[in-house]
Amino acid sequence: MGRSHQGLTLLELLVVLVLVSLLGTLLVQGVGFFLGRYETVQRVQRESMQAMLRQHWFAFTVRGMVPYRQPDRQFRGDSSSFRGITIQPLVAPSGMPVDVRWAVETEGASGFVRYEEAGVSSNAAVGWTLRPSTGESLSFQYADESGRWHETWPSRESRGRIPRMVRLISASDRTVWLAHLDLFPDPVLNYREFD
């Protein structure tokens, strides 16, 4: 009768330990790779959500611009900033006409945009700095009813009207933000102007 082996030999034990350590190493590397990809996806999602929110804020306030006949309340803009009266401000209650201003500012070779609302509080103005996802200098352009883009507004043909579109472009002529002004482009008669 032969003796039965009970237990593992030293060589068998070493082979099992090597295999377990290899599997453990692969598992740790796989988890590390997955966590790295997950962090990348989270960062890209966060950046795209912030970019979408900035575009939405811009389009929301610009879409609410209202034309006025009074020269001090008319929409005015050039390549570095524009201001006008909107009924869709970011801070003040919607529906109330608020004087807002969007301005391009530069920091080195890249640009950022500043938003301001007048008359929101006793401090007179509130504002935010928004950084579009481009590293280039920025400027505004304004489209008339025929779709031609202008560097300044009012253009010669505007006669107190607001532009049909406002866009923020980069130095390479890439549109960064775009907003359509679908409200009536002609100034509305004030009740005082009715006779």
Which structure tokens are listed for 82? 């524009």
Per-residue confidence band for 144, with pLDDT thresholds at 50, 70 and 90:
confident
Q: What's the start-to-end Cα distance of the chain, in Å?
A: 125
Given a cut of 50, whether residue 66 has pLDDT beyond it is yes
The β-bridge relationship of strands 76-77 and 165-170 is: unpaired
Per-residue confidence band for 17, with pLDDT thresholds at 50, 70 and 90:
very high
Average pLDDT in the 14-40 region? 93
pLDDT at 122: 39
Per-residue confidence band for 191, with pLDDT thresholds at 50, 70 and 90:
very low
pLDDT at 111: 75
Which residues, other chains included, contact 49 with Cβ-Cβ below 8 Å and sequence gap of 6+? none
- How far is Cα 88 from Cα 97, in angstroms, rounded to an integer? 8
Given a cut of 90, whether residue 27 has pLDDT beyond it is yes
Given a cut of 80, whether residue 188 has pLDDT beyond it is no
- CA quadruple 53, 59, 63, 69: dihedral, nearest 10: 120
Average pLDDT in the 160-187 region? 82
Per-residue confidence band for 131, with pLDDT thresholds at 50, 70 and 90:
low
